Chain A
Amino acid sequence: MSHQPVVVGRDGLAALIAALHSDGFRVLGPTVRDDAIVYDDVVTVDDLPAGWTDEQDGGRYRLKRRADNALFGYAVGPHAWKRFLHQPLLRLWRAEPDGTGMQVATDAKPTERFAFLAVRSCELHAIAIQDRVFLQGPYVDPHYQARRDGAFIVAVNCGEAGGTCFCVSMNTGPKAATGYDLALTEFPGEPHEFLLEAGTERGAALLARLPQRPSTPADAERADAVVAKTAGNMGRHMRSDDVPDLLLDNLEHKRWDDVAARCLSCGNCTQVCPTCFCTAVTDANDLSGATERTRRWDSCFSQNFSYIHGGAVRPSPRSRYRQWMTHKLASWVEQFGTSGCVGCGRCITWCPVGIDITEEVSAIRGDAPGGGHGRA
């Protein structure tokens, strides 16, 4: 890809959104709703969260006004893009009596194509991870595939590190490296500008349709400075090189009891995690004899999750937290060739009791500040 980056203004961004619409995409991006940044339909540039940022810490999330008019001046909210690619609720099929037996039918494949606007680097990695889960194993999930195929991705290089961000530790950001059609870096203030780079031919083709000016070396330097500043302001850190062995060698560490005493087994972390993919199926019947099978997100924190005839394999919160964390950070590597964690910090922010995955890893390693937790 040898296309030169260009610089566009807010009008260029508006033109980008309009162009995506006219190309038939359903444009989804950040919007403000219920005091949070959530991903929803974006009709115009005015739907974006201008002048908002978020303040995040363990168990804490607040929107705050910014001093400027930045459109992408927040970190990440409770939504991840998986809600569009890997739907929270999905009908697998429906069966109706046809006299002698049952007739099974599936819904038509969705025809809409998504354009995701402002996908952060950690989220690009999360999408790549779910691609491995759903598309690159021996079985392909046709529902995910149908929604993923042709999705147009506009990445945003992060200008703001959240209080629970640790993408630098996970080598997943804050600069988008791959997996996007277009990537933008925002320069808030006056003039309000965006550096836009194409990652694919179709991205470049779209770029050519926008009002723009050529970028200068100074623009490139400014963009580099934005991500460098963000990289230097990570809210959390986690040494990640030794984590898989560390956790798998410490399955009986006392720290699991400690975290189990705090964990509510609510499953928030699995719902907000951009890579958690577990689902459960349920059946519903009606009086006509028809039956419908649906799939919904599930969580390994529920006791039923591991149920086999008569009991749960993991009845205790201790074993369930251990299951989640060792899968995410350790077994995932064996299964998919990558960690399941992208350092987005959502599980820390949205944990009602502020359990911090980075702190739990440190405690098990024994390097937590004042960590008195020895090995079991």
Chain B
Amino acid sequence: MEGLERILGEHRLFVGLPQPFVALAAGCARNVAFNAGDYLFRSGDPADWIYLVRHGHVALEAAVPGRGAVMFETVSEGDVAGLTWLLPPYRWDHDARAIEPTRALALDATCLRNKWETDHDLGCEVLKRFLGLLVQKVNAARFQVLDIYARHY
């Protein structure tokens, strides 16, 4: 458990948060490992777990009839797979598939949500950090939508 706490405390989403909260969150965490090809989750599944990738490479995909699975983003060390655990109805809206052997910290989403409901200050702090991540991903998606390499290069 001490090891989990340290790993969590060093993750970019948790770094600098008060130790008691990190300890609480670590109480909701466990180490998980996936083989290449394993799914962390699939679209439509309940968003019960948050995956903080420690090592490896995970594809976020959506199935498109006739085109198979289209990858729109990959996440790797230091990243988070999945964001829809933050808001109801707590359901995944895409697949997450390990491309290579992947290790991650899985945080029990229900546990985490309950903890910030009882401590709004900490809840606010965590949400701000996830919001930052979300903005980064929205900006990146915007970059992709512009399809900037298409015409000129």
Contacts and interface: CB of A to CB of B under 8 A. Distances in A.
Interface residues of A, number: 4
A309 interface: yes
Contacts of B152: 308-310
A311 B150 CA distance: 13
A308 B151 CA distance: 11
Interface size class of B (residues with CB under 8 A): under 10
Nearest to B150: A310
Nearest to B152: A309
Interface in B99-153: 151-152
A95 to B, nearest CB: 30
A311 B152 CA distance: 9
A318 to B, nearest CB: 23
Nearest to A311: B151
Contacts of A311: 151
Contacts of B151: 309-311
A310 B152 CA distance: 7
A309 B152 CA distance: 6
A309 B151 CA distance: 8
A311 B151 CA distance: 9
B150 to A, nearest CB: 10
A315 to B, nearest CB: 14
B43 to A, nearest CB: 36
A308 to B, nearest CB: 8
B33 to A, nearest CB: 47
A307 to B, nearest CB: 12
Contacts of A309: 151-152
Nearest to A308: B152
Contacts of A308: 152
A1 B89 CA distance: 92
A336 B27 CA distance: 69
A310 B151 CA distance: 7
Interface string A164-202: 000000000000000000000000000000000000000
B147 to A, nearest CB: 13
A180 to B, nearest CB: 49
B117 to A, nearest CB: 46
Interface in A290-320: 308-311
A308 B152 CA distance: 8
B51 to A, nearest CB: 41
Nearest to A310: B151
6 contacts: A308-B152, A309-B151, A309-B152, A310-B151, A310-B152, A311-B151
Listed from nearest, the 6 A-B pairs whose CB atoms lie closest are: A310-B151, A309-B152, A310-B152, A309-B151, A308-B152, A311-B151
